[in-house]
Structure 1
Amino acid sequence: MGKNRYVFWGLVITTLISALDANIMQTASPTIVKQLGGMELFAWIFVVYMLASTVTVPLYGKLADRYGRKKLLMIAVGIFTIGSILCGIANSMVTLVIYRGIQGLGAGGMIPLSMIIVGDLFTIEKRGRIQAVFSSIWALSSIVGPVLGSFFVKTLTWRWIFFINIPIGILTVLCLIPYKEQVDFKKSYIDYKGFFLFGIAITLLLLATNVSHPLWYVIAGIVVFLIFVMVERKETYPFLPVALFKNKGIFRTNLFMLVYCLSFYGTSNFIPLFLQEGNHMSIYKSGLILLSIAVGWMFGSTPAGNWIIRFGYKNLFILGSFVTALSGLLLYLFVENISYAALFLVLTVQGFAFGLLFAVATIASQEFAEAEIKGISTSLQMFLRNIGASIGVTIMGVLINHAANIVVGMQNVFLFALIFSFVAIFLSFLIPAKTTAVS
């Protein structure tokens, strides 16, 4: 790895602060609301961050193809760090919500740009192993984050969950400084009009998943999206390049990942809740179950690069989607009486499928794309994953809230996920086996 070692650690730290922020906030937010007041704005601490970080993902990818990844990642980390400082000094819920939005604007570029840099620097074989490291950080943060959140709230003050990002952000930038980009970036026109229309449409549709009367948001979102399509058809250099949709490899991989993230990817959000309420398990033990997904993910993503060369993309997508569906079927059938050990084992297998497919899909989004659209291709796929997961988790939440009890709710969630996992199996057969199939 040599000269890329510092860059690699910079990307690891970037992933770490993104992952920890999400998980620490879940633990600390009740205390923050208690001190600042404004309970009616509680959900917006998360909603505004999610909106800002999701909508800006494609723009970061587009800008990365024009100005380079290094500069943009340093800017994204800078925005996130400034947002963290502002959140730490917030004196009301209104200001905290606004500052969380600024944090989200930075967060929207941190993970996608890290993945794009990995695609630029490392071979396919190494990328699987590197993504295993990143994935493990996310999974472990889901366990460590709540513990750290409790520590900051009880020992120091909730403000330190934001201030801790300052030295980490500075360290990230210092690690990136030695990185010399080898790619020749072309100055190209950026369709900001298209971005704003696209951003407004997606924001309205995402808001529909977080408000009590979603219909008007859905209608408004669809109308703005149709305007976006009509405007973009006349645009010479549209915000989302036509090449992304004409390229069968990119289009089918993205469609697969959108549907796949609608299925079992979101169920892990509810499993600790199910263990706490259905089995009266401690918060610690119920949270520890997520370690199973982390372990499986590591084993799935580590060999992904080598397996692509050996078996091709299509076979791996088929394998991963079948493993997901079979493990999901076991969860659906035996959720009522499943033991902790058996659940841990099934989730490990499912984590293996997650790790394999996410690594293969990320590499595919880069290898199927021409050099000048590699950034937007990678970020668009991550954007669609976020959209799929957001919609999936929202529907799952509704299924649990309207069920007679938590066990019935989880059965309904697993049935919903199972249906979409079968759709994913069908789509996996449509993905080209090799990059050359679409060149």
Structure 2
Amino acid sequence: MGDPTPPDIMRKTHRPLTTLALATSLFMAALEVTVVSTAMPTVVGELGGIQSYAWVFTAYMLASTITVPIYGKLADLYGRKPVLLFGIGLFLVGSIASGLATSMGMLIAFRTLQGLGAGAIQPVALTIIGDLYTMQERARVQGAFSAVWGVAGLVGPVTGGLIVKYLSWHWIFFINVPVGVLTFALVVAFFHEQVERKPQQLDYAGAALLCAGVVALLVGVQGLGMNLWALPVALGLLWAFVAVERRAPAPVIPMSIFQSPAIAISSVAGALFSAAMFGATTYVPLYVQAVLGSTPTVAGGMITPMIVGWPLASVFAGKLLLRTGFRPLIVGGLGLTMVGTVLMTLLLVQGASLIALQVAMALFGVGLGFASTALLIAVQTSVGWELRGVATASNMFFRTIGGVLGVGLMGGVMVSQLMKDPSVPLSAANALLGPERGHAAIPEAMLKSLSGALTTGLNINFWLICAFSVAAFVSGLFFPRVSRNTNAPLSSDSAAAPH
């Protein structure tokens, strides 16, 4: 018989290179936040469709969010590797297709495809980290993965601005391709697992009801009066989802976990601060470029302090938990986000210092880093090992759903302001984001009216961001006293990621 040693060696996972692959996969997701936000005003200026501005973001987030629990189930059933590879492949196909889009409708459709792939990347990558490293080792790995988000936050706006200026906005999607191909190859070559088949099935009915309910809710929220019919439809679908989940043997989101006050309040607070965060990353660059007249690079640079401050603060939060407990970090962090968003709203005016605006965004990010880390680890501490995975996934789900609905609501506000004057065609608003030579084709009075309407809509959105931050802070005040388990991880791999 042959020597079994060589095949065994070949099938052994190479932890450092597998970890590198997971880091590059998360880097792709992190880069999407700043690069796309930086380029979107230019995209609208070229493709038109300012009325669909928010859908470029919400379609991506909605697709990635709803599929998170489904991919989690599939990873348990069929293994992490095939699910992660599928997600990376789908993400790359969506990226290439988005870069080739020639209309706003095509871009939204292909961003949805990209989001369907992204839904597998972050949760499965973080699950693999949990498989490969012990609790004690994860604290060290956390620092490296926090650095991934920090680097992406630094290079994203600059990269997006340079691409738009010297190449074309299409390349903001193509830059994912070499990173994705490298990641795919590393996972194939160096990550191996032995899958233990589990006798459980996907909750298809629950997943379908959840998807339909959230889409209907988004349509109703974004319609602002035009599609109010969707709100009762959404409530009916979500009620049916809860009823199905209570009876399902393997529910997408077990309703029983929300009997824990820590998990319930963390879900509410997470949804609220995510609405504020995604609103800021979506509309601050638009305001700085379209209203203040700055370049795409400067516009994207306004959100860099927030995206860098988040992971840096999350690392310190993990180290402070044993000293302070959860409540001080949660209340203090959410208080900082409230202060940061109030300052941001007051500073987003003509003639204001952009440096002061960046300081406000940094406060916002640092507060998010402290609060989000403490909230997530408190959730993980509140349940046993057998529920920790689903509790973590549910918390991430509510965070992103909050962001989707928040951005959708703000998109509806902006469009409603632009449509107030029936004599001004909505399509003319695209000229505000296009090159200056395009302004010449629009009468001066019309441009002035459009500019005023866009400014008003965005100012309302910034006060909505403040309202979400204040509500998150208030919900944090009700967070219960959760005992600190010294055997629990001091920091969370997923807490450092702004999603």
- Regarding TM over 0.5, the answer is yes
Instruction: Name the residue aligned to 1:420.
Output: 471
Counterparts of 1:32 and 1:341, CA distance in 2: 26
Instruction: Name the residue aligned to 1:52.
Output: 63
Counterparts of 2:318 and 2:267, CA distance in 1: 19
Deviations 1:105-147 (A, max 9, x none): 1111112222333344444533542442243245235403523
Q: How does 1:74-89 map to 2 (within 5 A)?
A: 74-87=85-98
Instruction: Name the residue aligned to 1:379.
Output: 393
Instruction: Name the residue aligned to 2:437.
Output: none
Structure 1 residue 76 displacement after superposition: 0.9
Instruction: Name the residue aligned to 2:316.
Output: 303
Q: Does 1:203 align with 2:215?
A: yes
Larger Rg: 2
Structure 1 residue 276 displacement after superposition: 4.3
Greater alpha carbon shift after TM alignment, 289-298 vs 90-99:
90-99
Counterparts of 1:36 and 1:343, CA distance in 2: 29
Structure 1 residue 376 displacement after superposition: 3.0
Going from structure 1 to structure 2, the CA distance change for 1:110 and 1:418 (only over 3 Å counts) comes to: closer
Q: How does 1:261-276 map to 2 (within 5 A)?
A: 261-263=274-276, 266-276=279-289
Instruction: Name the residue aligned to 2:201.
Output: 189
Instruction: Name the residue aligned to 1:133.
Output: 147
Counterparts of 1:275 and 1:223, CA distance in 2: 40
Q: Does 1:101 align with 2:112?
A: yes
- Check conservation: 1:49, 1:103, Cα contact below 8 A: yes
Counterparts of 1:273 and 1:98, CA distance in 2: 22
Deviations 1:83-122 (A, max 9, x none): 3445566677766654443322111111222233334444
Percent same amino acid among aligned pairs? Answer: 31
Q: Give the letter for the 1:199 counterpart.
A: C
Structure 1 residue 56 displacement after superposition: 0.9
Greater alpha carbon shift after TM alignment, 35-44 vs 95-104:
35-44
Going from structure 1 to structure 2, the CA distance change for 1:36 and 1:257 (only over 3 Å counts) comes to: closer
**One of 350, 354, 376 as aligned partner of 1:340:** 354
Deviations 1:320-357 (A, max 9, x none): 12222333444456665853333322322221111223
Counterparts of 1:98 and 1:277, CA distance in 2: 25
- Check conservation: 2:61, 2:400, Cα contact below 8 A: no
Counterparts of 1:81 and 1:264, CA distance in 2: 26
Instruction: Name the residue aligned to 1:146.
Output: 160
Counterparts of 2:48 and 2:358, CA distance in 1: 39
Q: Give the letter for the 2:220 counterpart.
A: A
Deviations 1:363-390 (A, max 9, x none): 4444544444444333222221111122
Going from structure 1 to structure 2, the CA distance change for 1:96 and 1:278 (only over 3 Å counts) comes to: closer
Going from structure 1 to structure 2, the CA distance change for 1:391 and 1:8 (only over 3 Å counts) comes to: same
Greater alpha carbon shift after TM alignment, 372-381 vs 362-371:
362-371
**One of 156, 180, 184 as aligned partner of 1:169:** 180
- Check conservation: 1:51, 1:206, Cα contact below 8 A: no
Greater alpha carbon shift after TM alignment, 196-205 vs 340-349:
340-349
Q: Give the letter for the 1:350 counterpart.
A: F
Going from structure 1 to structure 2, the CA distance change for 1:275 and 1:348 (only over 3 Å counts) comes to: same
- Check conservation: 1:24, 1:149, Cα contact below 8 A: no
Going from structure 1 to structure 2, the CA distance change for 1:168 and 1:426 (only over 3 Å counts) comes to: same
Instruction: Name the residue aligned to 2:374.
Output: 360
Q: Give the letter for the 1:207 counterpart.
A: V
Q: Secondary structure at the match of 2:398?
A: helix
Counterparts of 2:184 and 2:392, CA distance in 1: 22
Counterparts of 1:11 and 1:303, CA distance in 2: 23
Structure 1 residue 426 displacement after superposition: 1.8
Counterparts of 1:203 and 1:192, CA distance in 2: 17
Deviations 1:187-224 (A, max 9, x none): 42321111111111112212334446231222211111
Q: Secondary structure at the match of 2:229?
A: helix
Counterparts of 1:326 and 1:420, CA distance in 2: 13
Going from structure 1 to structure 2, the CA distance change for 1:110 and 1:3 (only over 3 Å counts) comes to: same
- Check conservation: 2:262, 2:482, Cα contact below 8 A: yes
Going from structure 1 to structure 2, the CA distance change for 1:319 and 1:3 (only over 3 Å counts) comes to: farther
Instruction: Name the residue aligned to 1:14.
Output: 25
Structure 1 residue 172 displacement after superposition: 0.9
Structure 1: segments with no counterpart, 5+ residues = none
Q: Does 1:349 align with 2:359?
A: no
Instruction: Name the residue aligned to 2:244.
Output: 231
Going from structure 1 to structure 2, the CA distance change for 1:374 and 1:180 (only over 3 Å counts) comes to: farther
Counterparts of 2:174 and 2:348, CA distance in 1: 41
Q: Give the letter for the 2:61 counterpart.
A: M
After TM superposition, the score normalised by the length of structure 1 is 0.81
Counterparts of 1:226 and 1:43, CA distance in 2: 27
Going from structure 1 to structure 2, the CA distance change for 1:46 and 1:242 (only over 3 Å counts) comes to: closer
Q: Secondary structure at the match of 2:125?
A: helix
Structure 1 residue 46 displacement after superposition: 4.6
Counterparts of 2:50 and 2:302, CA distance in 1: 31
Instruction: Name the residue aligned to 2:439.
Output: none
Superposed CA RMSD: 3.9
Greater alpha carbon shift after TM alignment, 312-321 vs 94-103:
94-103
Structure 1 residue 164 displacement after superposition: 4.2
Q: Does 1:251 align with 2:235?
A: no
Going from structure 1 to structure 2, the CA distance change for 1:126 and 1:152 (only over 3 Å counts) comes to: same
- Check conservation: 1:25, 1:149, Cα contact below 8 A: no
**One of 286, 289, 293 as aligned partner of 2:302:** 289
Instruction: Name the residue aligned to 2:431.
Output: none
